Amino acid sequence: MTELNYVEKFANYLNGEKKSINTVKEYTNLIKQFLEFLKKDPREVTMEDIDKYKEYLAIEKNYSKQTIYITMKALQSFFKYLKIKDLYKLQAPKRSRKLPSYLNEKEMANILNAAKENERNYIILLTLAYSGLRVSELSSLKIEDIDFYDNFIHVRSGKGDKDRLVAIDENVLKIIKNYLNKEKRSEGYLFISQKGTKITSTHIERIVKYYAQKAGIKKKVTPHTIRHTFATILLKNGADIRFIQQILGHSTIATTQIYTHVDEDALKEVYEKTKPHY
């Protein structure tokens, strides 16, 4: 079997496992890179080969722990597909737990104000800021997924192929409704390109980057930064951690708990109230 056949059949396996489009794309690309490095039939791979590849990624390519972690997860899935038991039980390195980057409310407001020159782009940013959706979820959002009566967004097949309900501000939905009425659209994807096709995640990332720079924000801002901002503000304003877990679509509370460490103002406030007085 050729390298290309292995990658194609692996992609089919992942689709059969109901993995997300992004996961299929990422894992198959990582396996393609691995096979190019390997230069041998993957059924003949040994743990020594994998150790050499990890060393290559860390030293030659200078990849981060996070990238190596995802690569090892991809390899686990690949060897599970090949039914090579000794290899699909390989251990991925510990995932790094960096504190998420986020904006303060003034910075987020400045980005929204900068985007008011373009109605569609403004609403894209507004929806991200008030819902905490992942960029892939926003890109795939259809008009029929929005409940304008009860103020909910239905996320279909989010991460882990899970559906969930996300509450959103009533005023944001009014702005979205007016926008759709102007465009005379009542079905299809909520956000479309100039060609009338579904807007891509990459396009949304460019929009976020452009308006962050226009607002004078020096730090790197991505759709995920806005998601972190949303979660941090919810927590700061007293939202229960389990509510935040539900609205963000985290599979475990451990993922959500990282937000309990990022609000600097809250940390200072608690410290001032509880510090010792020697």
Q: For residue 82, what pLDDT is reported?
A: 86
Phi and psi at residue 154, to the nearest 5°? -95, 110
Label residue 89 exposed, middle or buried (CB < 10 Å: 0-12, 13-18, 19+): exposed
Label residue 65 exposed, middle or buried (CB < 10 Å: 0-12, 13-18, 19+): middle
Six token digits for residue 185: 């659209």
List of long-range contacts for 20-25, beta carbons under 8 Å, 24+ apart: 20/136, 20/157, 20/159, 20/160, 20/161, 21/136, 22/136, 22/201
Q: Which residues are catalytic?
A: 134, 159, 224, 227, 250, 259
Q: How far apart are CA 116 and CA 19, in angstroms?
A: 36
pLDDT in tens, the chain (278 residues): 676 688 899 999 988 888 878 788 889 999 999 999 988 888 888 888 888 888 888 888 888 777 888 888 889 888 888 887 666 666 655 655 566 688 999 999 999 999 999 999 999 999 999 999 999 899 999 999 999 999 999 988 656 567 888 889 999 999 999 999 999 998 999 999 988 899 999 999 999 999 999 999 999 999 999 999 998 888 888 888 888 888 888 877 777 777 666 666 666 666 677 766 76
- Note if the pTM is more than 0.75: no
Residue 256 and residue 245 in contact, taking contact as beta carbons nearer than 8 Å: yes
3-class DSSP state of 91: coil
Give the gyration radius of the chain's Cα atoms.
Answer: 22
User: Could you give all domains of the chain from N- to C-terminal order, each with its CATH number?
Assistant: 3-88 (1.10.150.130), 105-271 (1.10.443.10)
Six token digits for residue 133: 């959706």
- 192 has which bridge partners? 198
Residue 124 and residue 205 in contact, taking contact as beta carbons nearer than 8 Å: no
Residues in CB range of 275: below 8 A, 6 or more apart: none
Q: Which of 190, 187, 195, 189 is nearest to 179 (CA)?
A: 190
Q: How far apart are CA 215 and CA 209, in angstroms?
A: 10
In this structure, the dihedral spanned by the alpha carbons of residues 99, 100, 105 and 106, taken in order and rounded to 10 degrees, is 90
Q: How far apart are CA 251 and CA 233, in angstroms?
A: 20
Q: How far apart are CA 234 and CA 240, in angstroms?
A: 8
Q: How far apart are CA 186 and CA 35, in angstroms?
A: 46
The one-letter amino acid at 94: K
Kind plus residue range of the DSSP H or E element containing 34: helix 21-38
